[in-house]
Amino acid sequence: MQSPNSKPNSDPASEAERRIRRLTLHLSPVQCVAEEQLAMVACGGRARLSVDTPSLSSYMRGKHRDIQEKVFDYFNANPHLQTPVEISKDEHRELCMKQLTGLVREAGIRPLRYVVNEPAKYFAILEAVGSVDMSLGIKMGVQYSLWGGSVLNLGTKKHRDKYFDGIDNLDYPGCFAMTELQHGSNVQGLQTVATFDIITDEFIIDTPNDGAIKWWIGNAAVHGKFATVFARLKLPTYDTKGVTDMGVHAFIVPIRDMKTHQPLPGIEIHDCGHKVGLNGVDNGALRFRSVRIPRDNLLNRFGDVSRDGKYTSSLPTVNKRFAATLGELVGGRVGLAYSSVSVLKVAATIAIRYSLLRQQFGPPNQPEVSILDYQSQQHKLMPMLASTYAFHFATTTLVEKYSQMKKTHDEELVADVHALSAGLKAYVTSYTAKSLSICREACGGHGYAAVNRFGILRNDHDIFQTFEGDNTVLLQQVAADLLKQYKGKFKGGTFAVTWNYLRESMNTYLSQPNPVTARWEGEDHLRDPKFQLDAFRYRTSRLLQSVAVRLRKHSKSLGDFGAWNRCLNHLLTLAESHIESVILAKFIEAVQSCPDPSSQAALKLVCDLYALDRIWNDIGTYRNVDYVAPNKAKAIHKLSEYLSFQVRNIARELVDAFDLPDHVTRAPIAMRSGAYSQYTQHVGF
């Protein structure tokens, strides 16, 4: 394959242009402040890189590798707990509960203690468990992140003392009852009611209409004994109004008898039935008919009701209490973003190992070649592999920020994690969902076999785009936050932590693109992380400034809501661009921090492919504003194709660094040895 540095016969005009550019550089060298300069790492020249896979794997997997190995070893030692390809809904649910019980009671892994104190360790467990069976990962998340997390994060000491041990050891399996039939994303629109009865010192939980039936509630259909129910708190006022609506609060509601496991009086439970995926999770629907619970069952961290019906809160408004409540539940989004990357790792590993194994066609009278040697296959899979690495470092950073937030409760960090988790969850899960189909197609007919897992992975992961916040809604939250920061900047305010780069790049945007740098096409320049990051950030700044102008214009005739809807696609593009900028920045930091030279060189190569592939995918934006001249656009495309070829040369080492054993990937076509023989044995040969 031709190197991008190979020079075809160039015409005199282009040669003259190159000489002028070199002269310009001598006359006006580019000045960079030392601490702002993002250093480049050599990629090892034209020779194939030598990658120390154990060192790269150690850098990737971090300090919680041991507990992940404990999860993998437990399931490898208990084949009866591994999920078969063909299994009914009811059997899958029971197996999933047995898997979780075994993990907790036999393997001794107690996730709840890590939810608050060591979130990074909890997410590492969640990643490993989800690699075994995504249904198990979600069921564990419902029990510990949602049901357990709501008690720990929204309740107070009395709730922790009463429920912690039972949740931790699975004596108290529970649910998280937020979503209703008619309301999902709009949590403030929930209709379930909790009315305080001052005479009996109880709350009365009611489902006022069919639209308020709690829907898609994990653990509800079969196993749950408790539920954290989100309902509108209504207090008596003893005037003409009768009651005051204090907004949405969370309540602990027992739903089944602890001994008989039958639904308690006033509680109606139904099964949501067979789903597209995740059928090991027993999603159910709940209706409440005047269900009475003690006043102490209000999770009262942000608002409490006294014996005489008086409401107290450290937060002055309904909106602030609501924001604080949802802010404490952001861990679910963090977990989904992180888990989605683990799904992408599994899929990429299967597709790439098979593509290295599978041979098809070749030069006349020559052996057949690996299908990963075809440029079209590299185009499908190598940028995806680069993205997997990029997402890994971005979501690892998110987990670290979340862990720090739980320790410090720093307000600035809380806001940063809230917006970053929304953006990464939306961006990563959408990308993974598309990539699962690409991986299936890249493996041809064998990718269609259920035993090779793409169909199961695709179906199980699909809902990641919807729960814990619909992706389109989450991207709007990111865009709204960017606009808020943008507006604040012009009032003398400061940008939040992750948004800091906008301070300088907005100033760059407001000036014209440099006509000299717009034509630079040398490989050293294109692989300079400063150029890559500047390009990403310029695009985000341009989108931010232009959508702000459009919103201001349309709001005059359409109002704020109408203007937002008119500019909605623009806003979504802005949010995605911002998240891509954050991902690249974290990837560059990870490359620079890598202590092993061979691993660093491999990561630099992968990072360059990620950056240039993204720039090329949106090259029209850069061309429209002359940020990139035609010759530079061509050079970017040529170099990104060459980098795909270079990454292909170390693709085996890169997927091996994910360190996923065969008993975890469980796809015959991805076995490290004897793939075809295991595949034929599966069908009976």
What is the tens place of the pLDDT at every residue in 323-376?
Answer: 888 877 899 999 999 999 999 999 999 999 999 999 999 999 999 999 999 999
Given a contact cutoff of 8 angstroms between Cβ atoms, the answer to whether 67 and 124 are in contact is yes
Q: Give the pLDDT confidence score for residue 490 in this predicted structure.
A: 53
> Angle at which helices 630-649 and 375-408 pack, to 10 degrees?
90
Which is the catalytic residue, given 468, 576, 580, 641?
Answer: 468
Distance, in Å, from the CA atom of 580 to the CA atom of 390, rounded to the nearest integer, reads 10
Q: Is 585 helix (H, G, I), strand (E, B) or coil?
A: helix
In eight-state DSSP terms, residue 263 is B
Residue 460 has pLDDT above 80, yes or no: yes
pLDDT at 509: 59
Whole-number Å distance between alpha carbons of 569 and 426: 15
At which residue do the structure tokens 């993998």 appear?
A: 72
Amino acid at 175: C
Q: Confirm or deny that 179 is annotated as ligand binding.
A: yes
Give Cβ neighbours of residue 151 (< 8 Å, ≥ 6 apart): 159, 160, 163, 164, 167, 228, 252, 299
Residue 306 has pLDDT above 50, yes or no: yes
- φ, ψ of residue 146 in degrees (nearest 5): -90, -65
> Nearest CA to 358 among 350, 657, 384?
350
Q: What is the pLDDT of residue 23?
A: 38
Structure confidence at residue 498 (pLDDT): 55
Q: Is 315 helix (H, G, I), strand (E, B) or coil?
A: coil
Average pLDDT value for residue range 521-538? 93
User: Measured between alpha carbons, how far is 138 from 295 in angstroms, rounded to an integer?
Assistant: 31
Residue 218 annotated as lining a ligand binding site: yes
pLDDT at 36 (0 to 100): 31
What mean pLDDT do residues 603-623 have? 96
Q: Model confidence over 52-67: pLDDT tens digits?
A: 999 999 999 888 999 9
Within 10 Å of residue 168's Cβ, how many Cβ atoms? Answer: 18
Looking at per-residue pLDDT, the higher value among 339 and 1 belongs to 339
Phi, psi angle pair for 205, to nearest 5°: -95, 125
* Cα separation, 117 vs 199, whole angstroms: 40
Instruction: Identify residue 615 by its one-letter amino acid code.
Output: I
**Cα–Cα separations (whole angstroms), residue 430 to 331, 410, 423, 437, 610:** 19, 30, 11, 12, 17
Mean pLDDT (the chain, rounded): 89
Q: Cα(257)–Cα(435) distance, rounded to whole angstroms?
A: 44
Helices 630-649 + 597-617 axis angle, to 10: 140
Lowest-confidence pick of 197-206, 398-407, 546-555, 666-675: 666-675
State residue 521's pLDDT score.
83
Cβ partners under 8 Å of residue 258, min gap 6: 225
168/180 Cα distance (integer angstroms) = 27
Q: In terms of pTM, does the model score above 0.85? A: yes
pLDDT at 478 over 70: yes
Question: Which of 14, 574, 116 has the alpha carbon at shortest distance from 331?
Answer: 116
- Return the residue matching tokens 């995918």: 617
- For the segment 624-647, the average pLDDT, to the nearest whole number, is 95
CA–chain centroid gap for 143, Å, is: 20
Question: Catalytic: 504?
Answer: no
* Whether the Cβ atoms of residue 594 and residue 603 lie closer than 8 Å to each other: yes
Q: Could you give the CA distance from residue 498 to residue 484 in angstroms, rounded to a whole number?
A: 14
100-114, 116-130, 231-245, 248-262, range with the lowest pLDDT: 231-245
Which residues in 112-211 belong to E strands, given as ranges?
Answer: 174-177, 193-197, 202-206
Integer CA distances (angstroms), 360 to 27, 201, 347, 542, 678, in order: 54, 74, 21, 46, 20
Q: Whole-angstrom Cα distance, residue 498 to residue 295?
A: 41
